[in-house]
């Protein structure tokens, strides 16, 4: 490890701008095997040939990248080595202390900063590692699953960039029948201003395995984050995944996530989008085996000039699968949200049961929410429903609560909190629920 501390710094300090040389230097600084360098270079070439999103792309019609120029960012943050828990910021220490977790990892800027594990995890054959180490220590598994099954590099411009430059990341592997009851906690704090970050989450579970993973994403002032989440869920495996994005309101955030579910697999994905100046998130659940069950639940609460865009895909390839999507957002000030969702049912995916709901609570007339649901159904024996709503705080609710002695402000606060409750009720980690409630409280207040 000691070889790695000084040298990469020297290498990375010399990096200028986004280029193939930067990709090579990044890989060299991390002592990566040749296959990973090749993988990165191949992705870089794809990135170079792909055009930037334009208003002609349906996916980007309502989310323009006005003011975004990749040349404005340093391509990578310089990594700074690991520290003891006490040396972490108060905020990060609290985050770690508040959650009753099986293990935690903290990333700051481009590398692992701190980690703590329960020995029992590895006894059960569970891998919970930073991706950089996993590339060296579990090359077969990483090579098999990393951006091969769920999110391929060429999916979009930002996944290609991510594949070429990924820096921090988590590799979770849960072998057959292993059950991790407490959550695995990952915190990414992009500390340096104005840099690009490329956080990766790769979760692989084998048959019957169970795991809960929480990603906490912070910082990224004046920066960019192009993250990828891959959940490869084995037959009859149960996965709970939470992506809690609370970036600085100056950050550009691009997330591409996809879960691939085997037979009778069970997923609940909680997507929280609090921060960033702009978020474009592509979130897919891909039901590949019979009897799969997927829940995709999201909350967002843009304020000021924030722009939050979620684009989801519920892919039913196999029969007898269930998917339930619920995205609820409140909007204040001049903020804007976009929700686009498609339920896709392949021929032969009979007995599909799919729901999609997007609710928007408009707290100021200057805020705007667009909701574009869609169905693409190629099977005849299916049940699919979708609904989108945009409404203001219901005056009859306010009156009822005021008639019980609540002030108008208290009544409205409670109604907004209540609006998020349908999702909060399904968040499986209590400390996460409390944290989300606090953020909602703060966002309502000011």
What minimum distance in Å lies between the beta carbon of 2 and another protein? 45
What minimum distance in Å lies between the beta carbon of 433 and another protein? 13
What minimum distance in Å lies between the beta carbon of 392 and another protein? 14
> Residue 371 and residue 145: Cα distance in Å, rounded?
34
Tokens of 244: 């809690």
What minimum distance in Å lies between the beta carbon of 336 and another protein? 24
For another protein, give the closer residue by CB, 140 or 396. Answer: 396
Near another protein in 108-147, by CB under 8 A: none
Choose, by CB under 8 A, the member of 2, 49, 395, 446 that binds another protein. Answer: 395
The answer to whether 244 touches 214, Cβ cutoff 8 Å, is: yes
Residue 185: what are its φ and ψ, rounded to 5°?
Answer: -110, 130
What minimum distance in Å lies between the beta carbon of 33 and another protein? 50
For another protein, give the closer residue by CB, 51 or 405. Answer: 405
Instruction: Compute the residue count for the chain.
Output: 446
Which stretch in 124-132, 146-154, 203-211, 388-396 sits in contact with another protein by CB under 8 A? Answer: 388-396
What minimum distance in Å lies between the beta carbon of 266 and another protein? 25
| Backbone angle region of 194, left / alpha / beta, with phi > 0 → left and psi within -120 to 50 → alpha | left
Q: Is 301 in the site for another protein (CB under 8 A)?
A: no
Question: Is 338 strand, coil or helix?
Answer: strand
For another protein, give the closer residue by CB, 10 or 409. Answer: 409
For another protein, give the closer residue by CB, 171 or 419. Answer: 419
> Residue 225 and residue 188: Cα distance in Å, rounded?
11
Q: Is 397 in the site for another protein (CB under 8 A)?
A: yes
What minimum distance in Å lies between the beta carbon of 343 and another protein? 24
Which stretch in 60-68, 212-220, 254-262, 396-404 sits in contact with another protein by CB under 8 A? Answer: 396-404
Question: Is 189 strand, coil or helix?
Answer: strand
Q: Is 375 in the site for another protein (CB under 8 A)?
A: no
Beta strands in 86-168 (DSSP E): 103-108, 111-117, 127-130
The answer to whether 330 touches 419, Cβ cutoff 8 Å, is: yes
For another protein, give the closer residue by CB, 67 or 446. Answer: 446
For another protein, give the closer residue by CB, 211 or 361. Answer: 361
Q: Which of 296, 287, 420 is nearest to 363 (CA)?
A: 420
For another protein, give the closer residue by CB, 350 or 421. Answer: 421
For another protein, give the closer residue by CB, 131 or 411. Answer: 411
Chain position carrying tokens 């070429």: 164
Which stretch in 6-14, 145-153, 232-240, 395-403 sits in contact with another protein by CB under 8 A? Answer: 395-403
> Residue 289 and residue 267: Cα distance in Å, rounded?
13
Task: Tell how far CA 189 is from the center of its chain.
Answer: 14
**Hey, how many other C-beta atoms are within 10 angstroms of the C-beta on 150?**
24
Q: Are strands 307-316 and 278-287 parallel, antiparallel or unpaired?
A: parallel
Task: Write the CB contacts of 396 (distance below 8 Å, at least 6 apart in sequence).
Answer: none
Which stretch in 31-39, 226-234, 296-304, 401-409 sits in contact with another protein by CB under 8 A? Answer: 401-409
Q: x/- binding map, residues 407-426, to another protein, per CB under 8 A?
A: xx-x---xx-xxxxxx----
Total interface residues for another protein by CB under 8 A:
25
Q: Is 388 in the site for another protein (CB under 8 A)?
A: no
Q: Is 405 in the site for another protein (CB under 8 A)?
A: yes
DSSP 8-state code for residue 288: -
What minimum distance in Å lies between the beta carbon of 420 and another protein? 7
| Backbone angle region of 208, left / alpha / beta, with phi > 0 → left and psi within -120 to 50 → alpha | left
What is the end-to-end Cα distance of the chain in Å, rounded?
46
Choose, by CB under 8 A, the member of 221, 402, 426, 433 that binds another protein. Answer: 402
The answer to whether 437 touches 414, Cβ cutoff 8 Å, is: no
What minimum distance in Å lies between the beta carbon of 256 and another protein? 30
Applying CB under 8 A, the residues found at the interface with another protein are 394-397, 399-408, 410, 414-415, 417-422, 438, 441
């Amino acid at each position: 490890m000691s070889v790695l501390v000084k040298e990469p710094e020297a290498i990375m300090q010399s990096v200028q701008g986004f280029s193939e040389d930067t990709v090579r230097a990044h890989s060299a600084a991390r002592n990566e095997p040749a296959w990973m360098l090749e993988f990165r270079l191949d992705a870089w070439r794809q990135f170079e040939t792909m055009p930037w999103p334009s208003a002609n792309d349906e996916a980007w019609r309502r989310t323009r990248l006005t003011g975004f120029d990749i040349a404005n960012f340093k391509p990578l943050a310089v990594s700074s080595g690991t520290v003891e828990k006490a040396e972490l910021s108060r905020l990060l220490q609290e985050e770690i202390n508040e959650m009753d977790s099986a293990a935690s990892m903290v990333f700051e800027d481009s590398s692992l900063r701190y980690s703590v594990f329960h020995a029992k995890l590895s006894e059960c054959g569970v891998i919970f590692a930073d991706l950089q180490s996993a590339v060296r220590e579990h090359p077969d598994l990483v090579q098999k699953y990393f951006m091969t099954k769920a999110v391929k590099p060429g999916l979009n411009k930002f996944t290609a960039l991510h594949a070429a430059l990924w820096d921090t990341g988590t590799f979770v592997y849960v072998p057959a029948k292993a059950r991790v009851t407490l959550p695995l906690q990952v915190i990414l704090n992009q500390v340096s201003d104005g840099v690009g970050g490329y956080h990766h989450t790769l979760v692989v579970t084998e048959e019957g395995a169970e795991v809960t993973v929480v990603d906490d994403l912070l910082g990224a002032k004046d920066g960019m984050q192009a993250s990828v989440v891959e959940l490869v869920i084995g037959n009859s495996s149960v996965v709970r995944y939470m992506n809690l994005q609370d970036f600085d309101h100056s950050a550009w955030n691009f997330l591409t996530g996809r879960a691939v579910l085997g037979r009778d697999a069970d997923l609940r994905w909680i997507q929280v989008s609090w921060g960033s100046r702009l978020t474009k998130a592509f979130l897919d659940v891909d039901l590949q085996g019979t009897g799969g069950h997927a829940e995709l639940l999201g909350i967002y609460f843009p304020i000021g000039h924030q722009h939050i865009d979620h684009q989801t895909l519920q892919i039913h390839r196999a029969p007898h699968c269930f998917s339930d999507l619920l995205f609820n957002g409140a909007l204040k000030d001049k903020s804007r949200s976009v929700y686009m969702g498609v339920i896709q049912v392949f021929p032969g995916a009979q007995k599909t049961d799919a729901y999609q709901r997007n609710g928007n609570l408009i707290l100021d007339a200057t805020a705007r929410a667009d909701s574009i649901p869609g169905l693409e159904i190629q099977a005849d024996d299916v049940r699919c429903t979708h609904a989108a709503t945009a409404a203001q705080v219901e005056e009859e609710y306010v009156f009822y609560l005021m008639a019980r002695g609540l002030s108008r402000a208290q009544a409205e606060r409670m109604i907004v909190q209540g609006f998020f409750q349908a999702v909060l009720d399904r968040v499986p980690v209590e400390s996460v629920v409390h944290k989300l409630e606090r953020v909602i409280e703060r966002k309502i207040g000011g």
